[in-house]
Amino acid sequence: MTFVESQGDRKYRTSERVGGLVECSSLQVELRRFDPGWQVDLTLECTEIAVLLSGQSKIRWTGDGHKREAIARPGVAWICPAGVHESDVEIIGTMPESLHIFVPPSLVGESALSNFDIDPARVQLAYAGGVPDPMVLQFGQLFRGLLNRKLETTDRLFLDGIQLALAGHLLGTYTSTRWRPATRGPTIDPKRLKRVLDFIEARIAADISLDDLAAEACLSPFHFSRMFRAATGLPPHRYVTERRVEAAKEKLRLARSSLVDIALDTGFGSQANFTRVFRKATGLTPGQYRALVTGH
């Protein structure tokens, strides 16, 4: 299967394509921006792997015949095998960087046969929507570094390695015989959760303790931690850190403030701590990230 048109433009007609992989016929990789609103439903003949790189949104949709809902944040992924229908997609919030990988239906099967000694006829991916997946996030960040530029010979070698590793992860996690949706325990009701999330956004530059968040939800710290993780997929301190990293990214894109000011404005306390946490989350220092997204 050779792609002759943008699969993302076909499926996500009300979104904006802000980046793409050039000179590659075996797969398509697109970086897209989603604003609040509805998406037109469509069934694609290829397999799609999507992961949010920045932003946050609540999403409601129907996937594979079931109504679903998720809080999309960096690292939340969708695995949509060829032929699976998604519809009634409502986005509540802005997602400035959503990375979409479109691969032919046979790509995973061929990799299984030649590299993993698995019969391709027995490989079938399951549908998984709105699931936290740190590995897919790492793949997405690697692909992002190859977008919007001519690929050199070394880039193509690197791209082949990413594709192989991605295929291995999909086979090890998302085949129909392996994938089982997580069983959800008690969670915070939507109003309390929104109150906590708004509290975090309003105090992103200040110290935020577990006790502060639990009090906002009117729960004990123990029960709040458990229920918050069930609702968001992250423990409270990790969620706060990720939101700070995302806030820092927005400021770095504007290229107006010094790194010290950004560190203080986003609650990291010092430039050294900002650099350490940001590099751990993105693989880049704040200065390298600013150079990448602004061109200087």
Which CATH number characterizes residue 273's domain? 1.10.10.60
Tokens of residue 17, six digits: 């394509």
pLDDT at 47: 92
What is the SS3 string spanning 52-114? EEEEEEEEEEEECCEEEEEEECCCEEEEECCCCCEEEEEEEEEEEEEEEEEECCHHHHHHHHH
If asked whether residues 164 and 21 sit together in one domain, one would say: yes
If asked whether residues 146 and 222 sit together in one domain, one would say: no
Which of 145, 173, 201 represents a domain boundary (last residue)?
A: 173
Residues in the chain: 296
Binned at pLDDT 50, 70 and 90, residue 296 comes out as low
Tokens of residue 245, six digits: 């990293």
Tell me the average pLDDT across 156-176. Answer: 89
- Tell me what the pLDDT averaged over the chain comes to: 87
For residue 254, is it within any domain?
yes
Answer whether residue 203 shows pLDDT above 90: yes
Answer whether residue 275 shows pLDDT above 90: yes
Q: Among candidates 223, 245, 296, which has minimal Cα distance to 75?
A: 245
Answer whether residue 289 shows pLDDT above 60: yes
Tell me the average pLDDT across 143-168. Answer: 89
Asked if 46 contacts 25 with a C-beta cutoff of 8 angstroms, the reply is: no
Among 12-21, 61-70, 183-192, 225-234, name the one with the lowest average pLDDT.
183-192
What is the Cα gyration radius of the chain? 20
If asked whether residues 16 and 141 sit together in one domain, one would say: yes
If asked whether residues 194 and 168 sit together in one domain, one would say: no
pLDDT at 104: 84
Which CATH number characterizes residue 25's domain? 2.60.120.10
pLDDT at 135: 93
For residue 129, is it within any domain?
yes
pLDDT at 1: 62
User: In whole angstroms, how far apart are CA 229 and each of 131, 196, 207, 236?
Assistant: 13, 13, 20, 7
Domain residue limits at 247? 190-294
The total domain count for the chain is 2
For residue 143, is it within any domain?
yes
Among 167-171, 202-206, 267-271, name the one with the lowest average pLDDT.
167-171
Answer whether residue 78 shows pLDDT above 90: yes
pLDDT at 117: 66
Asked if 75 contacts 133 with a C-beta cutoff of 8 angstroms, the reply is: yes
* Span 117-141, pLDDT tens digits: 676 666 789 999 999 999 999 999 9
Phi, psi of 244 (to 5 degrees): -65, -40
If asked whether residues 60 and 207 sit together in one domain, one would say: no
Which of 148, 173, 198 represents a domain boundary (last residue)?
A: 173
Answer whether residue 156 shows pLDDT above 80: yes
Q: Among candidates 79, 241, 105, which has minimal Cα distance to 169?
A: 79
For residue 1, is it within any domain?
no
For residue 282, is it within any domain?
yes
If asked whether residues 22 and 151 sit together in one domain, one would say: yes
* Span 248-272, pLDDT tens digits: 998 998 878 999 999 999 999 999 9
Answer whether residue 112 shows pLDDT above 60: no
Most confident of 47-51, 101-105, 220-224: 47-51
Answer whether residue 107 shows pLDDT above 80: no
Greater confidence (227 vs 2) lies with: 227
If asked whether residues 212 and 120 sit together in one domain, one would say: no
Render the burial of 40-65: b for 16+ CB within 10 Å, e for the rest.
eeeebebbbbbbbbbbbbbbebebee
If asked whether residues 163 and 197 sit together in one domain, one would say: no
If asked whether residues 28 and 124 sit together in one domain, one would say: yes
pLDDT at 27: 85
Binned at pLDDT 50, 70 and 90, residue 66 comes out as confident
Spatial separation of the C-alpha atoms in residues 61 and 130, rounded to whole Å? 10
Tell me the average pLDDT across 271-286. Answer: 91
Spatial separation of the C-alpha atoms in residues 73 and 81, rounded to whole Å? 22
